Amino acid sequence: MSAIAPADRWRGVASEEVDEFSASVAGLLRKRSRRLLASLARPYRWQLLLAGVLILIRSAAYLSIPYLVGLGIDSGIRPGGSGNLAALVEVVIALIGVLIVNAAANFAFMRLSGRIGQDALLDLRRLLFAHVQELSLSFFERYTSGRIISRLTSDIEALNELLATGLTSAITAVVSVVAITAILIHLDTRLGVVTLVAMPLVLALTAWFRHNSARSYRAVRRAIVLVIVHYVESLGGIRAVHAFRREPRNQEIFEDVNGRYRDANIWSNRLASTFGPGIILLGRLTTTSVLLFGGYLVVQGQLTLGVLTAFVLYLRQFFEPMQDLSQFYNTFQAAGAALEKLAGVMEESPTVPDPAAPVRLGDIKGSVAFEGVTFAYRDKPVLHDIELAIPAGQILALVGETGAGKTTMARLIARFYDPTAGRLTLDGVDLRSISISELRRAVVVVTQESFLFSGTVGENLLFGRPEATREEMIAAASAIGAHDFIAALPNGYDTDVRRRGVRLSSGQRQLVAFARAFLADPRVLILDEATSSLDLPSERQVQHALRTLLRDRTAIIIAHRLSTVDIADRVLVLDAGRVVEDGAPADLHQAGGRYGSLHRAWLESLA
């Protein structure tokens, strides 16, 4: 990590900047994003072919216009009354027919290519969303939600633009350029060759643009992420912002990142502003050369005026799609930078992968064992060689000071992480051999972070078990003591909890989270500080309920308040990643060791 600029100081230093990469990997990135694009296009290859055919029809119709006009001039129109009116009318009728075909093919093509684009976009959305959800928690800790949001919204949006308008103009342009080149050469080979002389210049200009715009658009993508992350976070924490008068500072930071986003955009706009007119200029130069050379040929009597006229008109049609192509190329470069990012996410693989051949557990009893489990988080050892067997149905309390490794043990049981060494088993089967969906049904964690989704209270409860009946849902809420306050809400279970459940107090949210977990009916339930926000009567009610609810379940309870530990069959005292005491609460209490002193401290805190 290099020294940070003063303007960046507020962000602080972090060990990994996922977004930064050296220019040398740019080639790899491009390859990766091309692969993604190809895999997206594959299902639509026949439809794309049909779109190509429609384009050919449309272009043939469109391109025959100057030809027909030329024909009309050469055969129908002679100055001074010597024209052939019949020939002119024939040409006009042919033209009208051609125009109708052109319009019809145009409509059909736009419709079809629009559909392909939208379908491909939907595929990409599905694919990406599913993939991101599959990724492990360690990914989310590294990648941050703001960045994920940015990938799934603004990067996909950049691609939408490419698919919505870009594809149409690109295919049209390529077909037009190829067809017109053929027509030009057919009309007059000599003039055609003059036209082709401009091509190397066009290619050189394009190469320059590609190189620079790729860099500029990467800068745009990098900048928008900062804007989105700051926006989402600071508005999400608006209470703290107001309470601590951070509005001006936030505004400063926002204007800084937003300004960087603007500058990156101005840069890429400047490049596009050079590239587009550059192509036009090359077209003008070519026209001039053609006029000079063609004029010479006409004077020499080797070319008719009509052919030269048609040629000049065709040249116009040659460079107009070239300009479209340059527009498309611009959109493509913008989308390309987004695609690189998306491809990057797609290449992430879950660090907690689903087993290829999962072991079927059938009826899960719920015994959990740690066999020589060691775990290091970002190279920092958290747990050392833990040996532990939790028989099915046991209620185990984990106690210890902050940072002792309690939460890590809980997360290992839920397989949010895999151990660095050793193994964990459920009913004797290695967790890594159990399909993740089966494991999640069996093991549920309730944390103090009682996140609620937008929607009604009922919907949030049913998140635990979507197929549960309303009676089961109410029973779960009643058992935990949440029914009374839910019923008192304006619409009872159908009350909208608003954004992140702000409608409820934090204790109420925790009760809902609790009920949600019970509705899920897991064999193994992990409660990680799950009662921290409850008042004592609610906590007592929860504890009371736990006695019945935890019967015939395995439970692991982490709590700072030892009142929750009272219902445990067994207590494990952790210190710095090692088990230092293990036994029934009463025994440990008597022994007067670590647990004894913790218990004393807790009792004193009650006084």
Partner 1 sequence: MPQKKRKESSDLGLLALRRYLPYLRPYIGLVAIFGVAQLGSLAASAAIPKVIQQIIDGPITHHQIGQMLPMAGLLVAIGLLEFVFIYLRRNFSGVASLRMETDLRNDFYGHLQNLHVAFHDNWQSGQLLSRAISDIATVRRFVSFGLIWFLQTIVTFAVVFVLMWTLDWRLALAVVVCMLPIAYISKVFTDKYKVIARRQQDQQGDLTTIIEEMATGVRIIKAFGRMQLVQKRYETQAELLRATNLEGVTARAQVWSLLTFLPNMSLVVVLLLGGLNVIQGTLTIGGLVAFMSYVFMLAWPMDAIGWVLSMSEECRTASERLNEVLDSRPEIADRAGARSMERCSGRIEFRDVGFKYPGSDEWILRGLNLSIDPGETVGLVGRTGSGKTTLACLLPRLYDVAEGQVLLDGVDVRDLHLRSLRSHIGVAFEEPILFSASVHENLVMGRPVVDDAELKRAIDVARAGFVWELPWGLETRVGEQGYTLSGGQRQRLALARAVLGRPQVLVLDDPLSSVDVHTEAVIEESLATVLEGVTALLVVHRPSTLALADRVALIDGGAVVATGTHTDLMKTNELYRALLSQEYETSTQVPA
Within 477-536, the residues that bind partner 1 by CB under 8 A are 485, 490, 498-499, 502-508, 511, 516-517, 520, 529, 532-536
Check binding of 401 to partner 1 (CB under 8 A): yes
CB atoms within 10 A of CB 20: 9
Binders of partner 1 in range 292-331 (CB under 8 A) = 292, 294-296, 298-299, 305, 308-309, 312-313, 316, 320
Q: Out of 19, 134, 521, 569, name the contact with partner 1 by CB under 8 A.
A: 134
Instruction: Copy the structure tokens of residue 24.
Output: 């040398």
From the list 5, 402, 548, 586, which residue makes contact with partner 1 (rule: CB under 8 A)? 402
Closer residue to partner 1, CB minimum distance, 243 or 357 = 243
The only residue of 7, 23, 157, 552 in contact with partner 1, by rule CB under 8 A: 157
Closest by Cα among 400, 516, 501 to 466? 516
> Which one of 182, 285, 584, 591 is in contact with partner 1 (CB under 8 A)?
285
8 A C-beta contact, residue 461 and residue 512: yes
From candidates 189, 351, 437, 469, binder to partner 1 by CB under 8 A? 437
Q: Is 374 a binder of partner 1 (CB under 8 A)?
A: no
Work out whether 208 is an interface residue with partner 1 (CB under 8 A): no
Question: 429-442 burial by CB neighbour count: b if 16+ within 10 A, else e?
Answer: bebbbbebebbebb
- Is residue 7 a contact point for partner 1 (CB under 8 A)? no
Closer residue to partner 1, CB minimum distance, 30 or 560: 560
Interface with partner 1 (CB under 8 A), residue from 57, 60, 205, 241: 241
C-beta closer to partner 1: residue 239 or 360: 239
Q: Which of 166, 192, 278, 458 binds partner 1 (CB under 8 A)?
A: 278
Binding mask 60-99 for partner 1 (x = CB under 8 A): -----x---x--xx--xxxxxxxx-x--xx-xx--xx--x
Q: Which residues make Cβ contacts (< 8 Å) with residue 323, sequence separation at least 6?
A: 276, 279, 280, 283
CB 24 → partner 1: shortest distance, Å? 27
Q: Any idea how long the chain is?
A: 607
Considering the complex, what minimum distance in angstroms separates the CB of residue 140 from partner 1? Answer: 5
Q: Give the list of residues 6+ apart from residue 279 with CB closer than 8 angstroms, or none.
A: 202, 205, 319, 322, 323, 325, 326
How many positions of this chain bind partner 1 (CB under 8 A)? 185
Give the residue, chosen from 540, 570, 578, 589, that forms a contact with partner 1 under the rule CB under 8 A. Answer: 540
Q: Which of residues 161-180 bind partner 1 (CB under 8 A)?
A: 164
Least distance from partner 1 to the Cβ atom of residue 544, Å: 5
- The pair of structure tokens assigned to 561 is 């308040």
Task: Measure Cα distances from 385 to 213, 372, 573, 574 in Å.
Answer: 53, 4, 15, 12
Q: Which of 89, 96, 91, 56 is nearest to 306 (CA)?
A: 91
Nearer to partner 1, 39 or 532 (CB): 532
* CA distances in angstroms from 554 to 239, 264, 348, 522, 574, listed in the order given: 39, 55, 34, 9, 19
Contacts to partner 1 from residues 449-468, by CB under 8 A: 449, 451, 453-454, 463-464, 466
By CB atoms closer than 10 A (0-12, 13-18, 19+), residue 476 is buried
Count CA within 13 A, CB hemisphere, residue 295. Answer: 6
User: What is the rounded (10 degree) CA torsion for 41, 46, 48, 54?
Assistant: 180
CA–CA gap between residue 355 and residue 349 (Å, rounded): 13
Residue 551 in the binding site for partner 1 (CB under 8 A): no
Q: How far is the CB of 442 from partner 1 (least distance, A)?
A: 9
Cβ proximity to partner 1: between 29 and 332 the closer is 332
Give whichever of 57 and 152 is closer to partner 1, judged by the CB atom. 152
Question: Is residue 284 at the binding interface for partner 1, with CB under 8 A as the rule?
Answer: yes
Nearer to partner 1, 89 or 204 (CB): 89
Q: Which is nearer to partner 1, 26 or 307 (CB)?
A: 307
Of 52 and 83, CB closest to partner 1: 83
- The residue from 334, 414, 479, 515 that contacts partner 1 (CB under 8 A) is 414
What CA–CA distance (Å, rounded) separates 123 from 36?
12
What the block records as the tokens of 324 is 């479209």
Binding status of residue 243 toward partner 1 by CB under 8 A: yes
From the list 204-212, 265-273, 381-389, 417-425, the region that binds partner 1 by CB under 8 A is 265-273
At its nearest, how many Å lie between partner 1 and the CB of residue 47?
A: 14
Interacting stretch for partner 1, rule CB under 8 A, among 175-183, 202-210, 340-348, 432-440? Answer: 432-440
Please identify, among the stretches 262-270, 359-367, 424-432, 573-581, the one whose residues bind partner 1 according to the rule CB under 8 A. 262-270
Using rule CB under 8 A, residue 423 touches partner 1 = no
**DSSP structural state of residue 414:** T
Residue 577 near residue 384, CB atoms below 8 Å: yes
Decide whether 23 or 273 has the Cβ nearer to partner 1.
273
228 is a site residue for partner 1 (CB under 8 A) = yes
Distances (CA, A) of 112 to 55, 101, 167, 246, 529: 11, 16, 11, 51, 55
| Nearest approach, Cβ of residue 133 and partner 1 (Å) | 4
Q: Provide the edge-to-edge strand list for the sheet that holds 395-399.
A: 443-447, 524-528, 554-558, 395-399, 570-575, 578-583
Round to the nearest angstrom and report the end-to-end CA distance of the chain.
Answer: 50
CA 117, CA 47: separation in Å to the nearest integer? 11
Helix axis angle for 45-71 and 85-134, nearest 10°, is 160
203 and 145 Cβ atoms separated by less than 8 Å: no
Q: Supply 34's token pair.
A: 């091309």
Stretch that binds partner 1, among 152-160, 366-374, 385-393, 424-432 (CB under 8 A): 152-160
In terms of CB distance, is 100 or 584 closer to partner 1? 100
544 binds partner 1 (CB under 8 A): yes
Return d(Cα 84, Cα 86) in angstroms, integer.
6
**Nearer CB in complex with partner 1: 470/498:** 498
Rule CB under 8 A: choose which of 244, 347, 428, 590 binds partner 1: 244
Binding status of residue 576 toward partner 1 by CB under 8 A: no
